[in-house]
Structures are given as C-alpha cells and as structure tokens.
Amino acid sequence: GAGVSQTPSNKVTEKGKYVELRCDPISGHTALYWYRQSLGQGPEFLIYFQGTGAADDSGLPNDRFFAVRPEGSVSTLKIQRTERGDSAVYLCASSPPGGERDTQYFGPGTRLTVL
C-alpha cells in the first residue's frame, strides 16, 4: 500500500519568507509526527499529533513554527519568517493505533533550504 508521502520534496526559499510543508500519512494511522534532521545528525522531534490534536508540541523550536492536522489525516507544518538556520530535512512519520504504535513509518522528507 501507499506509504507516507511528503510534498514538496525540495523547497528553496528566501530568508523571511513563509513556507508550508505537507504530510500525507498512511491511511488509518492515527498518530503523526514531525521531525527535523540536520546533516550528519539524527532526527529531532518537533511535534506529535494523536488524531486532530497536537498531543505534544514541545519540540517546536519557537513560535515561528506551527503545525495543524484539521481532519486527523493530512498535516501541514508551517514556518513563518524563515531563517537560514531552519534549513534541514523535515521528516513526517505516522503510526497505527493499537499494538504496533511503537513503530513509526517515515516519509521521504522535505529538504528545506533557506537562502
């Protein structure tokens, strides 16, 4: 079946601009996660959704970052007033309810470059 998809795959923007990154989780997966990965590092947790609500947004670095999941499926990560330090690969993952919820299924990521 279809895996987690993320669009766009690459995004180049200028400092100060607003960007939106989209994630389509695996159908039926109730949990959705956003991570950020810098070169040579492991992913860094940003936010976790259970259904429509953000159950944990403690990883968002500051108030320029915001994420929504209005219908409990697709999620959008929004970054305002982008800075060069925001450049990274943004990863989305989803996991099913029940006993397999520990395993997270990752999308290919969106590579964000802020010039």
Partner 1 sequence: SQQGEEDPQALSIQEGENATMNCSYKTSINNLQWYRQNSGRGLVHLILIRSNEREKHSGRLRVTLDTSKKSSSLLITASRAADTASYFCATDGDSNYQLIWGAGTKLIIKP
C-alpha span between 106 and 52 (Å, rounded): 19
Question: Which residue from 33, 34, 65, 90 is in contact with partner 1, where contact means CB under 8 A?
Answer: 33
59 binds partner 1 (CB under 8 A): yes
Stretch that binds partner 1, among 15-23, 51-59, 63-71, 72-80 (CB under 8 A): 51-59
d(CA 60, CA 44): 10
The residue type of 59 is: G
Q: Which of these ranges, 21-29, 60-68, 72-80, 96-104, lies near partner 1 under the rule CB under 8 A?
A: 96-104
Which residue type is seen at 35? Y
State the Cα torsion 23-26-32-33 to the nearest 10°: -60
User: Which residue in this structure is represented by tokens 């450049």?
Assistant: 87
Please, what is the minimum distance in Å from the beta carbon of residue 65 to partner 1?
16
List residues near partner 1 by CB under 8 A: 31, 33, 40-45, 48, 55-56, 59, 91, 93, 95, 101-109
